[in-house]
Amino acid sequence: MRISWDAYFMKIAEDVALRSTCNRAWVGAVMVRERHIISTGYNGSPAGLQHCDDVGHLMVDGHCVRTVHAEVNAIIQAAVFGLATRDAECYVTHFPCLNCSKMLINARISRLVYKDAYRIDPIALEFFQQAGVGVVELVEKD
């Protein structure tokens, strides 16, 4: 059976997550426009800096501040290579935190598809709705 586009891109996001270098959460994001991947991102340290997996976590108020989130890395990678994120869809393995949600809105994505309902922030949901961003939880069928 042929899988849907949503399932296809989510499977790729899951593979991207395997590159994460902060073992507190393996998160992957894939930015897609017109069914073509424009960028990917995973949780990891800024380019050229040491990774949590190598030197440990840098914890502040219960959060690892060494790590750049997957969604932000996907936005940054698009910018580095001159690819517009306007009207793109973002496939992410975990629901984005509030800060990532705001960045995705400012990146002008049209749709967010997530798999893991990890710490869904009601303010983030409200912001997505106000911004006109479609939000879809991808549920696997048995």
Query: Taking a C-beta distance cutoff of 8 angstroms, is the pair 80, 73 a contact?
Result: no
* Set 71, 126, 137, 140: catalytic member: 71
CB crowding 84-101: b at 16 or more within 10 Å, else e: ebeebbbbbbbbbbeebb
Active site residue 71: yes
Burial class (CB in 10 A: 0-12, 13-18, 19+), 139: exposed
Catalytic residues, by residue number, are 71
